Chains A and B, each alone.
Chain A
Amino acid sequence: MSTSTKRHAAEREAPEGEPVEAPARPGTPVRGRRRRVPEITYSVLVFLGLLVVWQVVVKLFDVSTILVPAPTAVAGSLVDGFQDGSLMTHSVVTLKEILLGFGIAVGSALVSAVLITQFRPVERVLFPLLILTQTIPKVAMAPLLIVWFGIGISSKVLTVALIAFFPLLINAVLGFRSAAHEQVEMLRSFGASRAQVMRHLQIPSALPHIFAGLEVAVILSVTGAVVAEFVGSSEGLGYLIQASNFTLDVARTFAVIVVLSAIGIALHAVVVRLGKWLVFWTATPTETAGEV
């Protein structure tokens, strides 16, 4: 799932024809981590190729620096930003928003999913409502949240949580329901209680789905934090983008985008690694329910 989204994204960014090969993995064992390592390598290669093309185009056609700065200018701005500490402080703010919001989303989505799958009445009342609210574009709520919770960090955290919550919930519910009926009966034939069925069967069966949801949600969290900062903030990387746009410091805007991407890639990688480690028994990643 995340695999394909990422590859599409890479294709969109590299129209220059940088070939995006299907990762060939000769001789890798069927079980275990066979996907990630080469894929990150490919992402990096595509990214580097893009940089080279970009630099050449900017120099060759003498593009205005207010429109598109050369990668070297962006790199310079990155170095400056980290040296004067501004990029770092704003990154920390945004990262904090992302992690808090993501954490809240994970916690509440998992608890809701357990309640929904374990208690019929909860499911009857809550699930249709949740599906209904799922159709609301969550970013549209960001201005409201700023009005309600102020310009500080809490409105950003809540925006992130709101955006990350739904894909997590849907996948977790699917996951807790994914255990085969026959497996449940097998455990019952050994006298397992409902709690034991949950612990020994439903939770492990849900893990692949939950991690599919986490992969989507973690990327959405980054988007959520930046959008909320756009709407109203005095710090954070989203604020920094707006500020540098205002002063026509496009190189700096690009530098912030680079940092944001790095944060997204790093968080995604952590989730994927954790997933591979915990869900060691499936060779193929589970399909996600439609995202957002």
Chain B
Amino acid sequence: MPTSTDTDCVIRLDSLSMVYPTKSGGTVQALDDVSLSVRGGEFISIVGPSGCGKSTLLRIIMGLSRQTSGRVTFGPSEDTHRNQLGMVFQQPLLLPWRTVRKNLLMSPDLHRARDAATRAKADELLVMLGLEEFGDRYPNELSGGMQQRVGIGRALMHDPRILLMDEPFGALDAMTRDQMGLDLLKIWDQDRKTVLFVTHSIPEAVLLADRVVVMTPRPGRLADVVDVALPRPRRLENINTPEFGEIVLKIRKLLDSEHSAH
């Protein structure tokens, strides 16, 4: 990754709004005037009450939904495209008829780019994810946490510069979850991808991120963007420091005040 562009903006959201039509003929405003600049290599967590439009936001960035108004631009140069995005979903969404290795190779298979190099990369990823013995197993032979790791690996396979993660650890138990968060930080530390990480857990958001985006209840607006100026590498012990507690408290207050304002 070219260091000169590290501080440049890689995703720019300009007053994004999203209005869904409902079955009963009405409308639901999921996002309202969301603007945000994300710098390259930045780890951003997004927190907000359920239904505030976090998934909608990621889906728009990914190109799975089209916004009602506003713009998404990718930087820093013209040749930055959506194919430099990788998405990790809340569910692993592995294909049960493909082995773990072949699930990792999903993206190269779709682009007919499965060669020796990608296979080597898949093996590398298996090691990195701690799944080297499970390459030839099928997803239903794996635990939930392992499946989720495959889902993350699959998104990393085509080496996206930007990783969008929608509550990737939501379905995991607390212990696995902490471990996965730290593993994710390790992976992130290797080449500092830009990460947008949606979570319901405030401590998790703070532990991982450089900045935490706090959203309001529906329609989702940005309540505030909180800087997390904690040193890296982060460890689980960070959670017990007063600085950490302060940031968590600040975010909690933001969320509470937004709640009571409604």
Contact = CB atoms under 8 A, between A and B. Distances in A.
A249 B83 CA distance: 75
What 7 pairs between A and B have smallest CB-CB spacing? A281-B96, A186-B93, A189-B87, A190-B107, A281-B97, A204-B97, A192-B110
A281 B138 contact: yes
9 contacts: A31-B138, A180-B93, A186-B87, A186-B93, A188-B64, A189-B85, A189-B87, A201-B95, A281-B138
A280 interface: yes
- B interface majority secondary structure: mixed
A190 B107 CA distance: 6
A243 interface: no
Given A185-B64, A204-B95, A190 B106 contact: yes
B100 interface: no
Contact of B110 (A180, A185, A190): A190
A234 interface: no
Interface string A180-209: 101101111111100010001100100000
Interface range on chain B (Cβ under 8 Å from partner): 20 to 34
Given A183-B95, A191-B83, A281-B97, A31 B107 contact: no
Interface in B104-118: 106-107, 109-111
B93 A280 contact: no
Interface of A: 31, 180, 182-183, 185-192, 196, 200-201, 204, 280-283
Contact of B93 (A31, A183, A204, A283): A183
Interface in B74-109: 82-83, 85-87, 89, 91, 93, 95-97, 106-107, 109
B243 interface: no
A32 B107 CA distance: 28
Contacts of A186: 87, 89, 93
B64 to A, nearest CB: 5
A271 to B, nearest CB: 19
B224 interface: no
Given A182-B91, A183-B93, A189-B86, 4 more contacts: A189-B85, A190-B158, A201-B95, A280-B97
A196 B110 contact: yes
Contact of A200 (B89, B93, B110): B110
B127 to A, nearest CB: 22
A189 B62 contact: yes
B141 interface: yes
A41 to B, nearest CB: 27
Nearest to A185: B64
B7 interface: no
B140 interface: yes
Given A280-B97, A281-B96, A281-B140, A182 B89 contact: yes
B190 to A, nearest CB: 22
Residue of A188, A190, A196 ringed by the most chain B CB atoms within 10 A? A190
A220 B86 CA distance: 48
Contact of A31 (B59, B62, B140): B140
A103 B91 CA distance: 39
B110 A191 contact: yes
